[in-house]
């Protein structure tokens, strides 16, 4: 197990953190009843063991982003960010998130394709991880206004570990014309 990822976990229960951590989760949907799917996902996240949703921002709408860039012809996304207080280890939380996506019709057929539900683990406390299954903080969060904007609405003092204050990251994106 990644040494930094293992910090804060007990030896006899490596899937449970010793103390609760704040996880930041981005939620998005561009297929089906987007509002309903995001609401159901928030309920599912709140029902996870040893976890509770501590807050969620009002959803915003954004253009779809594909491997080749923004796609104005694709269905628009509804995006939000939630803060989850959890004792689940990051990899366990990620597994639950992927199960929630699947339960709500997510099919992983095309990278960055249209989807009923997309849940991304943006940050987990100040944990840093770079493994085949989990990169923390999320490697593209600092470049995504549809993540930073609702996160800032949820927490005016938010910090993306290793990147800086969310308000400053968002201001930089807007100044560069990326918003």
Expressed in angstroms, the distance from the first to the final Cα of the chain is 37
Active-site residue, selected from the candidate residues 34, 83, 87, 115: 115
Structure tokens at 16: 């449970």
106 is catalytic: yes
Read off the DSSP letter of residue 143.
G
120 is catalytic: yes
Active-site residue, selected from the candidate residues 44, 114, 118, 155: 118
71 is catalytic: no
In this structure, the number of other CB atoms found within 10 A of the CB of residue 8 comes to 18
Active-site residue, selected from the candidate residues 106, 114, 142, 155: 106
Active-site residue, selected from the candidate residues 71, 120, 126, 167: 120
Residues sharing a CB contact under 8 Å with residue 75, sequence separation 6 or more, in sequence order? 30, 31, 64, 114
46 is catalytic: no
SS3 category, 121:
strand
Name the residues annotated as catalytic.
Answer: 106, 115, 118, 120
């Amino acid at each position: 197990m990644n040494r930094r990822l293992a910090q804060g976990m007990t030896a006899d229960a490596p899937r449970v953190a010793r103390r609760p951590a704040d996880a930041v989760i981005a939620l998005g949907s561009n297929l089906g009843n987007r509002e309903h799917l995001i609401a159901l996902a928030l309920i599912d996240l709140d029902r996870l063991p040893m976890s509770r949703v501590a807050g969620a921002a009002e959803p915003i709408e954004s253009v779809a982003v594909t491997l080749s860039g923004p796609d104005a012809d694709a269905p628009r996304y509804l995006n939000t960010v939630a803060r989850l207080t959890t004792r689940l280890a990051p990899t366990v939380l990620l597994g639950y998130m992927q199960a929630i996506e699947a339960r709500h019709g997510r099919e992983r057929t095309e990278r960055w394709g249209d989807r009923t539900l997309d849940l991304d683990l943006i940050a987990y406390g100040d944990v840093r991880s770079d493994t085949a299954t989990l990169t923390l903080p999320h490697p593209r969060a600092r470049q995504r206004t549809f993540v930073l904007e609702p996160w800032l609405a949820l927490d005016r003092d938010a910090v993306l570990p290793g990147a800086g204050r969310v308000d400053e990251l968002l201001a930089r994106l807007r100044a560069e014309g990326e918003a």
